[in-house]
Amino acid sequence: MGRERDKDWDRDLYKKVDRYGIVENLSECLQCGKCAGNCPVAALNPSYNPRQIVNEILQGRVKRLLDSEEIWRCLWCANCYRVCPVDIHYPFLMMQLRYMALEEGYGLKYVVPINKYAHRALDAGLTFVPGKYGIEKIRKLRTSIGVEPWPEVSDRAKKEFRRIFELTGALAWMENLETLEEKPVTFSFLKGKILSRGEVSK
C-alpha cells in the first residue's frame, strides 16, 4: 500500500456514513471480535473482518474503505448484530457505507445492472417484476391456483408509486448512478494479512 495522505482520512467519516442516524452507538464497539467470529464471509475471505471495518470507520480511513472490495462482501445475514454485546447494527452500517461508496463511483458494477429491475418495477407499480421467463412462470402458477394471471395495478396507483420514488429522491439517485464513472475496487484489507497456505496476496 502506498503512503497515505491527509485527504485519505476524514475525522467526520462516522457521521457521514451514518447519515440516517441508525447506528449511533458505533463508538461503543468493544473490538471483542464476536462479529468476525460469527461472520460466514470472514470465515471464507481472509481479508474481510467486520471489527476492522468498524475500527477503520471510527478512525476515518475514508479512502481505504470506499475503494474496498471487502465492503461488498457482507451478506446482511445479521449474525454480527445477533451476537454483538452492545447491539451495533452492523448490516445497516454496511448499507450506508455502500451508499457512500456508490456516490463516489465505487462498486457500481454491483448495483447499476439491477437498476433495470427497479425501473421495470416502477413502471409496473409493483415492488419487483422479473424478466420475460419469470413473468411466464408466475402467470402459469397464478392461473393454476385460480387467480388472475397478473396483478392488476391501476394507473393512479402507478403514478402514486412513481411519485414516492420522486419525492424521496430514490429515482434521481438511481438515475445518477448510471451517469457516474466506474472506479476500481480492490481487496484493500488483504495487504498485510497472514494468509493460509496456497493463498496469494495481490
In this model, does residue 15 exceed pLDDT 50? yes
Give the residue ranges of DSSP H helices in 25-131.
Answer: 34-37, 40-44, 50-59, 62-66, 79-83, 90-103, 108-111, 115-124
The full set of domain ranges for the chain reads: 6-105, 111-177
Q: Could you give the C-alpha distances from 74 to 141, 160, 163, in angstroms and in order?
A: 33, 33, 31
Q: What's the CA gap between 121 and 161, in Å, rounded?
A: 10
pLDDT tens digits for range 51-87? 999 999 999 998 889 999 999 999 999 999 999 999 9
Q: Is 138 helix (H, G, I), strand (E, B) or coil?
A: helix
* pLDDT score at 150: 93
β-pair partners for 68: 186
Task: Please give the class, per CATH, of domain 6-105.
Answer: mainly alpha
* pLDDT score at 2: 57
Total-model pTM: 0.79
CA 160 to chain centre: 27
Grade residue 6 by pLDDT with cuts at 50, 70 and 90. Answer: low
H/E stretch holding 160 reads helix 155-168
